[in-house]
A and B are shown apart, each in its own frame.
Chain A
Amino acid sequence: MMSLIKTDLVKVLKMQYLFKFKANIDVFSSLIGIQLLAVLFSFGGFYHSTHGWGMVINLQQYSANIVICFTFIWALITAITITTKPYRHYDFTFVTNRLSSSLSNILFLLTVSVLGSITAMLSSNLIKFIVYMFLDDSIVLFKQPFFDFFTGMITTSLYTFLFCSIGYLVGAFIQYHKGFSVVIPVLFMGLLIFDGMTMNSTTITGFTEFYIKESNPFYFLLKTILMSSLVLTAAISIFNHLEVER
């Protein structure tokens, strides 16, 4: 039976987004767990020693780099998870189509990317705080430039969203054919080994360097947005080809 009520995409999107945010709130439990684990690993710090001028300087540096990397992994897994069948079944609570479902998923991923990045950046202070509590006779040089925090937060959000996008595409491939759940990890590992054997940054390392070696914030923004858009468009078109309720 056909409904005569006209649906507004924005309205549907808003409802779906809010519903998904509430329904998937547990992703934040895993975020906290993974970030706390990374905080624990970060206590080792980075040790550096130098001598000269009548002095030996033993320098211990602490940062949230491990937390950020763990957040990327979390983002990838979260994005793959929301493409799975149980999560996609939530959509059928509403009047929906593949497009609105994907768009609300993207909005959800964007939100968790930003939240995950803020907590990742703030976790550097948690690391410093705990380290400070257990310090003995060390000179403490902690700085908190707001601009650095702001830059870090935006950049981390962009990276995290890129990982979400990749995860969403991977999820789409797996939903299209289960064989991809084997092919993609094998391909990833294979390309990494290929890069290592050829001592050449061509595939995975080349892709990584394409981003981490970009020192111009504008170009970086452009690269991430373009790549995310491309990857998400591919994912949406794969989902559009899926049969209903597959």
Chain B
Amino acid sequence: MNVVTILISIIAVVIAIFLLSKRFKMTYSLLIIYIGALLISSIFIWFISIEDERERIKTDEMTNQFNETLRQGERERIDPLYLMKEETFQIDEDQELTLTSNYEWEVRVYVDRKNIDDGKVEASIYHIGPYVDGVYVTDSLAPYRLKKKEDTLGFYVPQDRTVKVTMGAPEFTVTQFKYGEVFSEDPIYANDPAIYLQVPKSLKIKRGEGVFIDYVK
């Protein structure tokens, strides 16, 4: 509790003692104190309220669009907000590159062959979310890593980091009309990460553990 809270509490107690004195009828005093507390808390919450950073994500539609855009090789259409990391690795075009991952499900890798053999693999990691109630909480996400060791390029997700989120949920008298049902929808949304690889045209790619390779059209 900070100084402001203590100060507010002291003022509230003083007002309460004054109002609860015999000069006022008990019910009126209680009403004034209660409504006062409700209004003060409403003003306080108004000050600490946040705005949605983005439009609410419509999960399936968004996921399909995202994957389709990468499959088509139209990366420039993807919001830079979803780009987590970009890295370039030197490679010998004659070797075979194995892609692996420790991700709990298969991570999708989009392989885009360049027109030249420039000895470079340019990798980008994309990730949508996690969103909680439409607010992006990626700052709390430990960055994913790409590591090249000999002829293997690995995608590594760090150990689970615990994040505590406190949010106000809309009341059922609101969700009934807002979402069409009494219980509001799951406020947490995230899409699986995707890797976009631009590789030299003659480099051979081998699918390792935990990855699904999709070649860009």
A67 and chain B: residue at smallest CB distance = B171
Supplied contacts A54-B159, A60-B164, A142-B45, 16 more A-B pairs, CB within 8 Å = A52-B190, A53-B190, A54-B142, A57-B165, A59-B188, A60-B165, A125-B42, A128-B168, A130-B41, A139-B163, A139-B164, A140-B167, A143-B51, A143-B52, A148-B170, A220-B176
CA distance in complex: A155, B178 (Å): 12
- Distance to closest chain B CB from A64 (angstroms): 5
- Distance to closest chain B CB from A144 (angstroms): 4
Instruction: Indicate if B62 sits at the interface (CB-CB under 8 A).
Output: no
Q: Which residues on A are within 8 Å of B, measured CB to CB?
A: 25-26, 28-29, 32, 35-36, 46, 48, 50-65, 68, 119, 121-126, 128-135, 137-144, 148, 151-152, 155-156, 159, 212-217, 220
Would B192 and A53 count as touching, CB distance under 8 A? yes
For A51, list chain B residues within 8 Å (CB). Answer: 160
For A123, list chain B residues within 8 Å (CB). Answer: 38
Q: Total interface residues on B, using CB and 8 Å?
A: 66
CA distance in complex: A132, B166 (Å): 9
- Distance to closest chain A CB from B192 (angstroms): 7
Which of the listed residues B46, B144, B171 has the most CB atoms from chain A within 10 Å of its own CB?
B171
CA distance in complex: A193, B140 (Å): 48
For A121, list chain B residues within 8 Å (CB). Answer: 171
* Given known contacts A62-B169, A139-B164, A28 and B27 CB-to-CB distance under 8 angstroms: yes
B28 and chain A: residue at smallest CB distance = A25
Would B158 and A141 count as touching, CB distance under 8 A? no
* Given known contacts A32-B34, A143-B49, A138 and B41 CB-to-CB distance under 8 angstroms: no
* Stretch of B108-116, B131-139, B205-213 lying at the A interface: B131-139
For A122, list chain B residues within 8 Å (CB). Answer: 38-39, 41-42
Would A119 and B166 count as touching, CB distance under 8 A? no
Query: Could you give 9 example pairs across A and B, Cβ below 8 Å?
Result: A48-B188, A60-B165, A60-B166, A63-B170, A68-B171, A141-B167, A143-B49, A143-B168, A151-B173
Picked from A28, A56, A63, A131, the residue with its CB within 8 Å of the CB of B160 is A56
- Distance to closest chain A CB from B12 (angstroms): 12
* Given known contacts A53-B192, A59-B165, A123-B38, A142 and B48 CB-to-CB distance under 8 angstroms: yes
* Stretch of B63-71, B73-81, B146-154, B179-187 lying at the A interface: B179-187
- Distance to closest chain A CB from B120 (angstroms): 27
- Distance to closest chain A CB from B112 (angstroms): 24
CA distance in complex: A213, B181 (Å): 6
- Distance to closest chain A CB from B19 (angstroms): 13
B44 and chain A: residue at smallest CB distance = A129
Picked from A35, A53, A119, A152, the residue with its CB within 8 Å of the CB of B130 is A53
CA distance in complex: A52, B170 (Å): 25
CA distance in complex: A216, B181 (Å): 11
Picked from B45, B132, B164, the residue with its CB within 8 Å of the CB of A128 is B45
CA distance in complex: A53, B133 (Å): 17
For B133, list chain A residues within 8 Å (CB). Answer: 141, 143
